[in-house]
Amino acid sequence: MNSYFPQMPTPPEQRPKRDLFRERLQIAGPALGISFIFLFSMMVQWVIVALVSRFAPQITDADWYRWMLSSVSMYVFAMPLSVCFYRLSRSEPPEKKKLSLPVFLGLMAVCFGLTYAGNYIGLFVNAVISFLTGQEVVNELETLTTASPLWVNLLCVGILAPILEEIFYRKMVIDRLRRYGDLPAILISGIAFGLIHGNFGQFFYAAMLGMVFGYIYINTGNILHTVLLHMAINLVGGVYSSEMLKLLDTELLASDPMAALSQNTAGVVMYILYLLFLMLVFVGSIVSAVLLIVYKRKPFKKAEQPLSAGEWGRVILLNPAVWVFAFLVLLLFLSSYMV
């Protein structure tokens, strides 16, 4: 039996039913909290769309409207109210510890490396889906950011998303799952974070980053570290790359680089800097990962209230809150690939 899911001294069938009910409730808090963020956000969006269509229809064609529509509904309304569901579960935050600058920079390199590796996996899966369905899979996030002005991308992608997502998907989830051990808390938090993105293009890198962020948070007890790492990744991968694509004629660059350079020097320079950054990340992430594994390896804390494999199955599979979360994830994935 895996040491992180050890058997209880008393066989599961002999434990009082109310014990497993409490465990289901403990899992239900994060599951409902995440689900409510999206469900209530959609409800608020419907209300905003109705009001805007009635009183200010002219702004519906603005590039920034879709971003502000989703951001206001999620960050201003849905996320704060979802705290009510998180409070169903008891919070057990990790002990605060310092993180040195060299280790932080090494972790940043690893995070960037995982981002691009996961992104390539997502592109491959989307290519397979496109081949099987005969329909091109569009990267809606890239389409949205390249159509939005810089200030909207900086606010929504570079600032709001990292701060609020780390609070809700890292701190609030992990604080409520640490009682089962560090490893289950990290895995559940990371996988849930990947799934809630609702498409394979973002699932793989989001899940991997979520696990790394969870590991960092558990070992430092400070959400600021993961917020800063999240910001760095979003600013480079979301904001910088979007501004670069706005300036760059990719077809002309592929066919005639010199003509592209003369036509738009700034775009080509940004592209060259981006390629240099990718090469630096490739080398830095490998070196940093090796050094961190060798010199900073820390054992996972085992569960204070462990569940057996069978109990995990019953707590998760027989949990209505998990059913709600699974249904929402399925809906998001299906909607992202429907034309």
For 112-123, write each residue's pLDDT tens digit.
Answer: 999 999 999 999
C-alpha distances out from residue 10 to 132, 279, 306, 314, Å: 50, 54, 12, 16
Q: How many residues does the chain have?
A: 339
Please tell me the distance from the alpha carbon of residue 142 to that of residue 140, in angstroms, as a whole number: 5
Residue 16 pLDDT > 60, yes or no?
A: no
Query: With bands split at pLDDT 50, 70 and 90, how would you rate the model's confidence at 156?
Result: confident
> How many domains does one find in the chain?
1
Q: Can you tell me the distance from the alpha carbon of 295 to that of 273, in angstroms, rounded to the nearest whole number?
A: 31
Residue 159 lies in a domain: yes
State the pLDDT at residue 255.
64
Range in 15-24, 137-146, 223-232 the model is least confident about: 15-24
Q: Residue 58: inside a domain, yes or no? A: yes
To the nearest whole percent, how much of the chain has pLDDT over 70?
Answer: 87
Q: 215: buried, middle or exposed (CB in 10 Å: 19+, 13-18, 0-12)?
A: buried
Model pLDDT, residue 289: 84
Within-domain flag for 220: yes
Residue 299 lies in a domain: yes
pTM, two decimal places = 0.86
* Residue 8 placed within a domain: no
CB distance 198 to 333 below 8 Å: yes
- The domain in which residue 260 lies consists of 15-336
Whether 2 maps to a domain, the answer reads no
Instruction: Name the residue among 115, 327, 139 with its Cα closest to residue 237.
Output: 115
Measured distance CA(55)–CA(40) in Å, rounded: 23
| Mean of pLDDT values over 279-288 | 88
Q: Is residue 183 part of a domain?
A: yes
Task: Find out whether 306 and 183 touch, Cβ atoms under 8 Å.
Answer: no
Least confident of 62-76, 224-238, 297-311: 297-311
The answer as to whether 104 is a domain residue is yes
Residue 248: pLDDT above 90? no
Tell me which amino acid residue 39 is: L
